[in-house]
Chains A and B, each alone.
Chain A
Amino acid sequence: MSSLLPLPMGYEILDILVVDDNPTDAELTLRALRKAGLGQHLRWAESGTEALDLLRAAGAPGAAPHSLPRLILLDLKMPGMDGLEVLQSIKSLTALQRIPVVMLTTSSEPADIDRAYALGANSFLVKPVELRQLEAQVVQAGAYWMLANRPPH
């Protein structure tokens, strides 16, 4: 797990968790979010297992407050545990299931889209090739889920 911003001791504030096995894609996504000023606290998990370990620890009773992310950007095709498995685990855990999960992937296959929604994905975005478009997309999704959307209590 790589923390891009230093956190004060004892605090584990997390706004957005980006799960992507591709370091390039992760860097582009994180850059877009930072550039838009969305989420002071971003994390990158480079595998499904790493993401789930982080989330389970943050959601466990007694964990520091605000340590659960307010938004998860999840890649679909990853070696080992893929995005759909991660999604399924998140949506089956009471502590995690209310966190909005946005699939951010290169696949535009209708079958993938259907499967992701069937497993409870909150939205499905196809990564564009162009950085400007990717930035616009990531920022829109972040703004919607972090600022505009009212989560259940």
Chain B
Amino acid sequence: MLAGLGVAGCLVVLSAALTEWAALRFTRANLEIEVLHAELDRLHHAQLALLTQHGAAPPDAQVSERLAALAGQRAQRDERLHALAAATRGELQRLQTGLGVFLVSALGLLAAFYWRARQQLRAQFTAARAQRALNESLEQQQRELQRLNQELDSFSYSVSHDLRAPLRAVEGYASMLEEDHGERLDDEGRRYITRIREGAARMGYLIQSLLEFARLGRQPLALAPVDMAALLQEVRSEVAAAHRGVDVDWQVDELPMVDADRQLLRQVWSNLLDNAVKYSSRTPQPRIEVSARREGAETVFCVADNGAGFDPRYQDKLFKPFQRLHSEAQFKGTGLGLALVQRVVSRHGGRVWAESSPGQGARFQFSLPVRP
């Protein structure tokens, strides 16, 4: 915009100077023409005076000579006058044309500048308006998210507090009944109590898992370099301790360092290894292989077992909360483990997938982006 104004100012000054210069030139040409006119008049008068002086009498040779000289001079001056007038006219025309061209191009230039400035301004304005609209919608989304988060907070609060309290009453009083009055019941009565207590305990466990699962989505990621080999070793001993009596032949490859949230990754390994041990516990010689490989901008980790496997038809159900491919009686579980794995991995920007067929073992793989 400022550039446009500058150019316009320059053009105005320039055209004013040009006009001034042209006016000066024409004034000079006009002066010269006037001088010539005056001279021609003078010559004319001189001729007339000579003729009048000598009357109609035939002029003597001297007078004739002077007259002829005067006429010659006059013709010369006349010719010059014509030439000068023609040149001035030509120059005037050229000047007019030049000035016209100059003015037209100057105007064109100005118009172009104006147009560009206008376009730029309009673009800026549109961009600003779009930005404002975007900001507003982002703010709105953020408010909505905050509101949802608060709702979720109070929801999990009430789940953890209000749902577990009555459950504790059920479990607690059933336990007290068993302890204090158990001998007055027969075996069937005591079996009922055991069932009540098991049910309550399992529901408590489910609520706890659900809470942890919900919390996973909200908690910010604490990214730091994680030694996967060390983490896997930790988790492996925990999982082995939880499944005492299952003699697994472990084969663990070298695992690289990754940038991730260690606590959350621990949950991923814990669930994958626990599943691998759990579902291969009925195989005569359980074998679990853990490996890692680089694939483009990702590191892919793989846990393969030779256990029960799963039907690939239900593969898409595998990672959904509370979806189980095996009955509780076959293999215990909450149905949240793999949903949790998927949530953690996708929050890290990775993917998780699995392949298997019944009786053929399962391969669970997840990828984590390699951060530069």
Q: Does A122 contact B (CB under 8 A)?
A: no
Give chain B's interface residues, CB within 8 Å of chain A.
153, 156-157, 160-161, 164-165, 167-169, 171-173, 175-176, 197, 200-201, 203-205, 207-208, 211, 215, 219
- Provide the bound-state CA to CA distance between A107 and B160, in Å: 6
- The answer to whether A149 has its CB under 8 Å from any CB of chain B is no
A148 interface residue (CB < 8 Å to B): no
Interface residues on chain A, size class: 20 to 34
The answer to whether A130 and B201 have CB atoms under 8 Å apart is yes
Instruction: Using known A-B contacts A22-B165, A24-B165, A109-B156, determine if residue A129 contacts B176 with beta carbons closer than 8 Å.
Output: no
Q: Which of A91-137 contact B (CB under 8 A)?
A: 105-111, 127-132, 134
Q: How far is the CA of A25 from the CA of B169 in the complex (A)?
A: 7
Decide: B164 and A131 in contact? CB cutoff 8 A.
Answer: no
Q: Which residue of A lies closest to B163 (CB)?
A: A106
- Measured CB to CB, the nearest residue on chain B to A131 is B175
* CB of A77 within 8 Å of the partner chain: yes
Nearest CB in chain A: distance from B123 CB, A? 47
A135 to chain B, nearest CB (A): 9
A145 to chain B, nearest CB (A): 22
Min CB gap A23→B, angstroms:
9
Q: List 5 A-B contacts (CB under 8 A).
A: A27-B172, A109-B160, A129-B200, A129-B203, A130-B171
With contact pairs A24-B165, A106-B165 given, residues A129 and B160 touching in the complex (Cβ less than 8 Å): no
B165 touches A25 (CB 8 A): yes
Residue numbers in A under 8 Å from B169 (CB-CB): 24-25
**Is A28's beta carbon under 8 Å from chain B?**
yes
Known A25-B168, A129-B167; contact A109-B201, beta-carbon cutoff 8 A = no
For residue A31, CB closer than 8 A to chain B, the reply is yes
Asked whether, in the complex, the Cβ of B157 is within 8 Å of the Cβ of A130, the reply is: no
Distance, CA A107 to CA B175, complexed state (A): 23
Q: Whole-angstrom distance between the alpha carbons of A27 and B165 in the complex?
A: 13
**Bound-state Cα–Cα, A108 to B204, Å:** 13
Cross-chain contact A128 with B175 (CB below 8 angstroms): no
- Of the candidates A105, A109, A134, which one forms a contact with B172 in the assembled complex, judged by CB atoms under 8 Å apart? A134
With A25-B168, A28-B168: A131-B176 Cβ-Cβ less than 8 Å: yes
Q: How far is the CB of B119 from chain A (nearest CB, A)?
A: 53
**A66-109 interface code vs B (CB 8 A; 1 in, 0 out):** 00000000000100000000000000000000000000011111
Q: Is A129 a contact of B171 with CB atoms below 8 Å?
A: yes
Given A129-B201, A130-B197, A131-B176: A106 touches B161 (CB 8 Å cut-off): yes
Chain A hits for B208, CB < 8 A: 108
A129 to B170, CA, bound (A): 9
Task: Give chain A interface residues in 1-51, CB to chain B under 8 Å.
Answer: 22, 24-25, 27-28, 31
Contact between A109 and B157, CB atoms less than 8 A apart: yes
Q: Which of B161, B171, B176 contacts A77 (CB 8 A)?
A: B161
Partner of A128, one of B204, B215, B219: B204
Question: Which partner residue on chain B sits nearest A29 by CB separation?
Answer: B172
A36 to B175, CA, bound (A): 16
A105 proximity list for chain B (CB < 8 A): 161
- List the A side residues contacting B211 at CB < 8 Å: 108
Q: A110 to B160: give the CA distance in the assembly, Å.
A: 12
> Given A129-B200, A129-B204, A130-B197, is A106 in contact with B164 using a C-beta cutoff of 8 Å?
yes
Complex alpha-carbon distance, A140 and B204, angstroms: 21
- The closest CB in chain A to the CB of B174 belongs to A131
Contact of A131 with B172 in the complex, beta carbons under 8 Å:
yes
A108 close to B201 (CB less than 8 A): no
In the complex the two chains form, what is the Cα distance from A31 to B177 in whole Å?
Answer: 13
- Nearest Cβ in chain B — how far from A8, in angstroms? 28
- B172 and A28 form a contact (CB under 8 A): yes
Question: Residues of B contacting A129 with CB < 8 Å?
Answer: 164, 167-168, 171, 200-201, 203-205, 207
A106 to B172, CA, bound (A): 14
Q: Which 10 A-B pairs have the closest CB atoms?
A: A129-B204, A131-B175, A24-B169, A131-B172, A106-B161, A28-B172, A106-B164, A130-B201, A129-B167, A129-B168
Task: Please indicate the chain B residues that have their CB under 8 angstroms from the CB of A24 in the complex.
Answer: 165, 168-169, 172-173
